[in-house]
Amino acid sequence: MITACAGGGPPVAVEQADRTAAPVDTTNNNNNNTNNTNTSTESTSTTSSTLAVEVDDESEMSADEPSLSVGDPLFPELGSLDVDVVSYDLRLDVEPGAPTVSGEVDVTVTLRPGLTVLPLDAVGLDIDRVAIDEVVTTSTSTESELLIDLPASVDASSGGPTTVTASIDYTFRTGGRTSAVGLPSGWITSPAGSYVLNEPDGARTWLPSNDHPSDKATWRFEVVVPEGVVVSANGELVERPDAASSGAWVWVADDPMPTYLVQMIVGDYEIVESPPATSVDGSEIPLTHVVPSGDRASFDAAIDGIDEQLRFFEELFGPYPLDRYGLAFVTDLSGLAMETHGRSMFGAGDFDSGRVGFLQELLLAHELAHQWFGNAVSPQAWDDIWLNEAFTTYAQWLWLDHVDLQPLDVHARAMLDLRQRTTESTGEPTVENMFGFERYDGGATVVHALRLTIGDDRFFEVLRRWVSDFGGTSQSTESLIGLVEAVADEDLDEFFDDWLYAGALPDSYPAS
């Protein structure tokens, strides 16, 4: 993710949140249906609220009680250690402008042996029906969880992990909400349609899921819409209605991805294919884009620039790591860009002049670089967010230097000067500032200092190996430090203490 003003100075995300607050209908931020229960159950609502508060004290939990956390330091309520999602198969029926959307999702999960309740993250969803492997079962909803009772037919106690498919019929209210980080999130509606912003925890407000970056899965999206309405999700478009009829749009994403990278754009758009790019490894990279209906020409310059930017980053970071790429230009999404998996999402208003200048180059470079840093290799937890943002901001610096828009050394010096005015560490964010300056330009000063410390050859070897060794997984800061020290063949504790974990940074870069 990036905000339009991130090239300046701190604070970035806060300013952005103010500017984007308008289109988000926070009146629909409705959590008052907590403790709703599946209609087929005896009332279990009184039992639910106690479960959520016990996540920090595993010693008191019996083997039968589900984990309701993966231990994320910033968002302890997200995810479950007992659940590893294999795939999501989502079907939605969307009527643009309607206050609710109904859907059904099949979540195929591998469960910890002995589990009797399957926990998923879910906030404010109305649950109509739940089944496990087609056997209807009961469930309980708390403020942040959907707890599905596993039927006796699921024998999860017989040794190894068990894989089941949970089918959930549900309804959610559209409009999105403001997340704890101060940014719009969830299913956001606008006159042109709707789109989702899931990072860091918006998916659970419209999709029952293991809503954490440590859990990657494959996806299938089937969205039924009225005639003339277009749907874009991640992956390959495998089915669409005839031009003059309503029907289902089906997108299939085989590249495993976590929930926060899901794209779901519905509205008055066109799907545009451009000639595939050719990777340095010789493979073709299909390019699929989304533009506001009837306005393709305004976005041609941005689309035409992909090849050169892709080639530049491939030479630095290794072959493009995903199946496909493309650009999605969303009406009413202003000043905020998001690295949705395999098709980055931008505000159409930031590009509809038809010109690609400094801001556009910055946004395009940042989101493309995320496909290596964040998407191929995702953060293990949200306090590893600098692994996403500092490295993509540095990639953006490299690109802006390459196209003679911003000299690297001058900008790096200026950002270190700016970093002197802040005292938040890059490596230990809080919820409030996880998308703040210390992760972006402030974080890129850490990356630049690392490059000067270990030298260009080893620095770029680290970047390439990060993706080639760990692509398709989620990794921690400790994992990166381990790789850096292995490649550099030296102990760099002091470097990371001084630059990554310190609040106040050194006032000059290491001598190269």
Sign (positive/negative) of CA torsion 183, 68, 55, 51? positive
Given a contact cutoff of 8 angstroms between Cβ atoms, the answer to whether 24 and 186 are in contact is no
Q: Does residue 447 interact with Zn ion by CB under 5 A? A: no
CB of residue 400 to Zn ion, shortest distance in Å: 15
Q: Is 364 in the site for Zn ion (CB under 5 A)?
A: no
N residues, the chain: 512
Looking at 86-94, 114-122, 351-359, 390-398, which segment touches Zn ion (CB under 5 A)? 390-398
The residue among 175 and 379 lying less far from Zn ion, judged by its C-beta, is 379
- Per CB under 5 A, does 183 bind Zn ion? no
Q: Least distance from C-beta 333 to Zn ion, angstroms?
A: 15
Nearer to Zn ion, 118 or 345 (CB): 345
Kindly tell me which of 82 and 424 has the beta carbon lying closer to Zn ion: 424
Look at the alpha carbons of 489, 491, 497, 498 in this order and tell me if their dihedral is positive or negative: negative
Instruction: Tokens for 146, please give them.
Output: 């959907």
**Angle (nearest 5°) at CA 507 between 481 and 9:** 85
Minimal distance, residue 455 CB to Zn ion, in Å: 26
Scanning the structure block, which residue is given the tokens 């994403």?
Answer: 253
Tell me: does residue 1 bind Zn ion (CB under 5 A). yes
Token pair 């692994």 in the structure block, residue: 387
Residue 2 found at the interface with Zn ion (CB under 5 A): yes
Rounded-to-integer distance, Cα 461 and Cα 317, Å: 8
Our finding on whether 4 is near Zn ion (CB under 5 A) is no
Token pair for residue 463? 């970047």
| Number of residues this chain uses to bind Zn ion (CB under 5 A) | 4
Q: Fill in the DSSP letter of residue 504.
A: S
204 vs 366 by CB, closer to Zn ion? 366
CB of 85 to Zn ion, least distance (A): 24
Minimum distance between the CB of residue 418 and Zn ion, rounded to whole angstroms?
18
* 291 makes contact with Zn ion (CB under 5 A): no
What is the 8-class DSSP label of residue 6?
T
Which of 192, 206, 175 has its CA nearest to residue 25? 175
464 HSE (CA, 13 A, CB side): 14
Told to check if 390 binds Zn ion by CB under 5 A, we report: no
Separation CA 151–CA 134 (nearest Å): 10
What sign does the dihedral 425-430-432-434 (CA atoms) show? Answer: positive
- Which residues, numbered 370-389, are part of the site for Zn ion (CB under 5 A)? 389
In the complex with Zn ion, the residue whose CB is nearer, 141 or 259, is 259
Near Zn ion in 117-156, by CB under 5 A? none
Question: Smallest distance, Å, CB 212 to Zn ion?
Answer: 18
Closest contact distance (angstroms) between CB of 361 and Zn ion is: 15
With respect to Zn ion, which residue has the nearer C-beta, 1 or 130?
1
CB contact set of 22 (below 8 Å; sequence gap of 6+): none
167 or 340: CB nearest Zn ion: 340
CA dist 59 and 36 (Å) reads: 29
Cβ 369 to Zn ion shortest distance, Å:
8
For Zn ion, the binding residues in 251-280 under the rule CB under 5 A are: none
Nearer to Zn ion by C-beta: 255 or 389? Answer: 389
CB of 223 to Zn ion, least distance (A): 26
Contact 115, 109 (CB under 8 A): no
Nearer residue to Zn ion within complex by CB, 287 or 345: 345
Q: How far apart are CA 161 and CA 111, in angstroms?
A: 5
> Which residues contact Zn ion (rule: CB under 5 A)?
1-2, 389, 392
